[in-house]
Structure 1
Amino acid sequence: MSEALFKVRFSAEGACVGKLRNEVSLTAHEPFQVERMLATDEGKFQGGDDTAPTPLEFFVTGLVGCLMTQIRVFAKRLKIEVEDVKISCRAEWEALPDPVGPYQGRPAKFEIDVDVTSSAAPDRVAELVSAARRGCFVEQTLGQANVIKHRLSVNGAEQSPA
């Protein structure tokens, strides 16, 4: 039996609808249910039309938004008064040579500054932010090795991914 307090489960299906534009149907299954369509595109640098945020823009926004949300949610539960939260994030990746493709992406650095306005004692605010970081699903995903499984189908026939 799992010790989980709750589960978070999403699924997404994407379709190519332009040069590099994608439309992704996102479904949240647990702990809430919602369906949304989110589009991504690339800028002119990559050959796109810049009609929507890039996947990395969504990624960094997700990281900042998740941590900000957790700080406010945890503040209520821990009864710590928080008047304001501001987060600045600097994220860097690098493109490295790849033996097959044009390049391979690698994360280089994530720097996050958290600025909390609160009447609570600084050590309580520090505890709050630490707890919120542990509760931020995006930051926790970044902070550990993850198993990512791929299945490949070419013309309807399943293939072994390289």
Structure 2
Amino acid sequence: MNLGLKELIAEIALSSSIKEAAELYKIFEGILKDYVFILSFDKSSAAIPGLAVDKNFSKTGAIRGLYKYNNVFVLSGKTVDSLLSGKKEEIPIDYSISLDTQAVSYLYSYFFDRNNNRLPGDLDEFFRFIIEPDVNVDPIPHLTENTYNLKSGVI
């Protein structure tokens, strides 16, 4: 197999199974030793990272995962060695709900628009969900997208 680095990374990312991805990683681990892949599979052999995945609220709200499937697998030199030797490897993952500008815009209009007195039907349900101890919320995407507005006092 004569692949360049970009092609090799694509082959691993597009693998149809954890085994296939691990075998490719093992063959080329000399050039991949500093790489860590987070892969998504529709298989029970990969882990579901937490509660904050594919959550539907009673009205219109929803939280969707970042990947195509909810099950993820972390592929690195350490996990490949564990996988191929039959050992179980546990890797803590910070799986956060990212509040981007689109998500915050729903809240912003409710809190700051004096003419909007309508509370979204599942807002209470949403807040009860995000205050759970095992649900992490990350405001950095919203803050990054709006740095200029925050500095100028628009927000």
**TM-score bin (small chain):** under 0.3
Which protein is richer in strand relative to its size? 1
Question: RCO greater where, 1 or 2, for CA within 8 Å and sep 6 or more?
Answer: 2
What is the TM-score normalised by the length of structure 2?
0.27
With normalisation by structure 1, the TM-score equals: 0.26
Q: For the pair shown, which has the larger CA radius of gyration, 1 or 2?
A: 2
